Chains A and B, each alone.
Chain A
Amino acid sequence: MKKQRLVMRTVILLVLGAAVAYTLYANFTKDKIQKVAVGEKAPDFVLTDMEGNKHRLSDYEGQGVFLNFWGTWCKPCEKEMPYMNNQYKQFKDEGVQVLAVNVGETDLAVNKFSERYDLAFPIVIDKDSQVQSAYGINPLPATFLIDKDGKVVKYITGEMTEETIKNYMEQIKP
């Protein structure tokens, strides 16, 4: 009788406690939920670069992809661009591709920016925010490291140094 009561109370309290814990957990992670989780396959997309060539993410399978989201007004994005450019030149022959996705600015702004830094990697513009929405981008800069099987290895937000960029590219080298 007494034992039964204790079991009963324990069960009820556990159920209530679990409900509360879940609610609190869900409430505090709702803003942080990463749409694209590490270890999962990166969502496919097709975007056109400044020369008019189409880039489809799944076409790069077999290579590592350094996927960077940026905007011209974003200072840390601007800072890391030359570093990415240098490392891209080192790693492109080792099978690491850089794709820089602009978050929907004008062709003019992107072209001028690209000319200023003499960027060698393809720059694509996500005009109607579809790709940003698929990857849940906020804030900038945001970088996804994608391995040769198309899986996300790491998600980085915030400015990177040339050294870290080099390490990251090393990581996804096929």
Chain B
Amino acid sequence: MKEVKCDCGHVNPIGTILCESCGKVLEEKEKDKKLLDMRYEGSARRSQTYNKTLIDKIWNFFSSVKVGVWLIVITLIASAVGTILPQEMYIPPIMPAEEYYEDQYGWIGKLYYDLGFHNLYSSWWYLILIASIGISLVICSLDRVVPLYRALKKQKVSRHESYLQRQRVFGASQTEDTDKAFTMAKEKLKSKKYSIREENGNILAEKGRFSRWGPYVNHVGLIIFLIGGMLRFVPGMYVDKILWIREGETKVIPETNGEYYLKNDGFILEMYDKEKDKEVFGEAIDKAGMVAKNYQSNVTLYKKQGDTVAGEEADLKKVKDYEIKVNKPLKFENFALYQVDYKLNELNKMSFALTNKKTGDEYGDLTVDLNHPQDEYDLGNGYKAEVVSYFPDFEFDENGEPVTKSRIPNNPAFVFKMFTPDKPDGEISFVAIRQTIEPFGDNEYKMAFKGIDTKNVSALTVRKDLTLWIIALGGVIFMIGVAQGSYWNHRRVWLRRVNGEVWVAGHTNKNWHGLKREIEAALDGTGIKMPEDQLQNQSEKKG
């Protein structure tokens, strides 16, 4: 394949439709058209012409705008499908995902799960779709911006007759004094901020060329945006964890390398009160019953002093007290702690009284701290209760043995051995919530349930995001590109002398009305006839 040499002497890359320099039509099939297709200045999009190696084939695939649009459409549909049923991370942890979807949504749910839509946004094919859009963006842009830049840079002032004739705005007329008319028109165009180039008495007035780069600036912004998204996968750039912390508890904050600790001083849930709050809330309160006003965790942040190994009690220095509310996170270094969830009234303590079943006499109370129970509770006067077994989250297993499901006291149960002066060998009693079992027959004593003490638990999101500024930068550049491409127009006006006539042609990438008005103003009083809008004439003839 060879380059194309135009009559004007300019050598164009293969595949060029309009000569970069003089604008002459080079492509045979374009020659019959009344108006030129001015997209990309008729430059050679190389992808369309070279197609030899595998690399070229991959390149050409991504260079196609059609492919790009399809990728976007497929991604949009997939993203929409992902919102039909909840994603796996949002389903309640009552049963495994594979059962949950079928159980809740029937065969549709099963299909949804089997096709992997339950975890769509981090599935490999979704990520590949997004990545393909990114690649398509880069290659499409490169493949168009380079030839366009070349063509606009190389354009000559005296464009070929066939080029001028086939512009949408074109007219030919006679004038008495062409030199004078040209000088006048030039001054007027200059006052409209056109930059003027002259060559052999012909004029090219041009302005707003930079508006042509708008879409490419926009794409650069998008690519930066995607890079920001990609950086989230780089360790240390992005943290999104949940910290469950009971009232009174001090815990190390995850992902801070054991540097920071947090103490929960109390969780507060406030409701709107019809009596106390403004009247406007009245209707909503009546409708919904309860309306939450505030979710708040009062916390203290500590920093570890000196070096300690894991497990060693750390020397903590208080940094600050803070009230974490929704949208009012505790911030330190690059971290932010957000109020995200809570659990009210988790069992904390249970009280019992050692009681004689027949007489109902009580021989002392004991309170078991469910997170730190003791081995035995001495009630004095020869009465004591020994804890033989403790099941914080009790259930019966398949063999009918009492076991615990976890270490969280959701459903505590005890095996007590009760010692009394008249039963020195002790009596065994299994005590769970609303349930007492006496495995060795009838006891004389029982552990009577007296009451519970609960604590609230706060859930905080631990968030660190070092990619945010990159994403913001991408967004800003994106918007600059949009503004650049939409608020400015690239306008060109050609004035050329052809065989004693004056030819005028105009081109713009948008807002033809504005261009025509400017040409009209520039030609006013020069004696040059206002050129016609050939597209408009065509449609009028048809209509």
Residues of B within 8 A of A108 (CB): 373-375, 387, 390
Once A16-B135, A111-B375, A130-B252 are accepted as A-B contacts, the answer to whether A24 and B407 lie under 8 Å apart by CB is: no
Closest 9 CB pairs of A and B: A26-B233, A45-B310, A20-B131, A45-B311, A134-B310, A130-B310, A47-B311, A44-B309, A73-B404
Choose from B127, B311, B374, B392 the contact partner of A46 (Cβ within 8 Å): B311
A37 at the binding interface (Cβ < 8 Å): no
Query: Cα distance A77–B250 when bound, in Å?
Result: 28
Listed A/B pairs (9) with beta-carbon separation below 8 Å: A2-B50, A6-B55, A6-B56, A28-B124, A46-B310, A46-B312, A72-B404, A106-B373, A131-B310
Residues of B within 8 A of A28 (CB): 124
Contact with A along B358-400 (1 / 0, CB 8 A): 0000000000000111110000000000011110110000000
B311–A30 touching, CB < 8 Å:
no
Contact with B along A123-143 (1 / 0, CB 8 A): 010101111011000000000
A106–B128 touching, CB < 8 Å:
no
Once A23-B127, A109-B392, A128-B252 are accepted as A-B contacts, the answer to whether A104 and B407 lie under 8 Å apart by CB is: yes
Choose from A9, A20, A23, A30 the contact partner of B59 (Cβ within 8 Å): A9
B111 at the binding interface (Cβ < 8 Å): no
Chain B nearest CB from A118 CB (Å) reads: 16
B403 at the binding interface (Cβ < 8 Å): yes
Residues of B within 8 A of A45 (CB): 309-312
Given A16-B138, A20-B135, A73-B403, 11 additional A-B pairs, CB 8 A: A6-B56, A13-B58, A16-B135, A23-B127, A24-B128, A44-B309, A44-B310, A46-B312, A128-B252, A133-B310, A134-B310
The DSSP consensus for interface residues of chain A is: helix
Residues of B within 8 A of A6 (CB): 53, 55-56
B234 at the binding interface (Cβ < 8 Å): yes
Choose from B127, B405, B407 the contact partner of A27 (Cβ within 8 Å): B127
B-side interface residues, number (CB < 8 Å): 47
A62 at the binding interface (Cβ < 8 Å): no
Query: Cα distance A124–B59 when bound, in Å?
Result: 60
Residues of B within 8 A of A27 (CB): 122, 124, 127, 233
Once A71-B407, A105-B407 are accepted as A-B contacts, the answer to whether A24 and B56 lie under 8 Å apart by CB is: no
Choose from B131, B252, B405 the contact partner of A73 (Cβ within 8 Å): B405
Once A6-B55, A9-B59, A46-B312 are accepted as A-B contacts, the answer to whether A128 and B390 lie under 8 Å apart by CB is: no
Instruction: Please provide the chain A residues from 37 to 93 with a CB less than 8 Å away from any CB of chain B in the complex.
Output: 43-47, 56-57, 71-73
Chain A nearest CB from B237 CB (Å) reads: 10
A30–B56 touching, CB < 8 Å:
no
A126–B252 touching, CB < 8 Å:
no
Query: Cα distance A4–B122 when bound, in Å?
Result: 37
A5 at the binding interface (Cβ < 8 Å): yes
Binding site for A on B (CB under 8 A): 46, 50, 53, 55-56, 58-59, 122, 124, 127-128, 131, 134-135, 138-139, 142, 227, 230, 233-235, 250-252, 254, 258, 309-312, 371-375, 387-390, 392-393, 403-407
Residues of B within 8 A of A73 (CB): 393, 403-407
Once A27-B122, A106-B372, A108-B387 are accepted as A-B contacts, the answer to whether A12 and B134 lie under 8 Å apart by CB is: no
Query: Cα distance A8–B398 when bound, in Å?
Result: 66
Query: Cα distance A9–B61 when bound, in Å?
Result: 13
Chain A nearest CB from B1 CB (Å) reads: 9
Once A13-B55, A130-B311 are accepted as A-B contacts, the answer to whether A107 and B372 lie under 8 Å apart by CB is: yes
Chain B nearest CB from A79 CB (Å) reads: 13
Contact with B along A1-23 (1 / 0, CB 8 A): 01001100110110010011011
Choose from A22, A71, A106, A131 the contact partner of B311 (Cβ within 8 Å): A131
Identity of the chain B residue whose Cβ is nearest the Cβ of A116 in the assembled complex: B389
B124–A24 touching, CB < 8 Å:
yes
Query: Cα distance A125–B254 when bound, in Å?
Result: 19
Query: Cα distance A45–B53 when bound, in Å?
Result: 58
Identity of the chain B residue whose Cβ is nearest the Cβ of A11 in the assembled complex: B55
Once A112-B388, A133-B258 are accepted as A-B contacts, the answer to whether A23 and B233 lie under 8 Å apart by CB is: yes
Query: Cα distance A10–B131 when bound, in Å?
Result: 17
Query: Cα distance A57–B371 when bound, in Å?
Result: 27
Residues of A within 8 A of B134 (CB): 16, 20
Choose from B251, B375, B389, B392 the contact partner of A129 (Cβ within 8 Å): B251
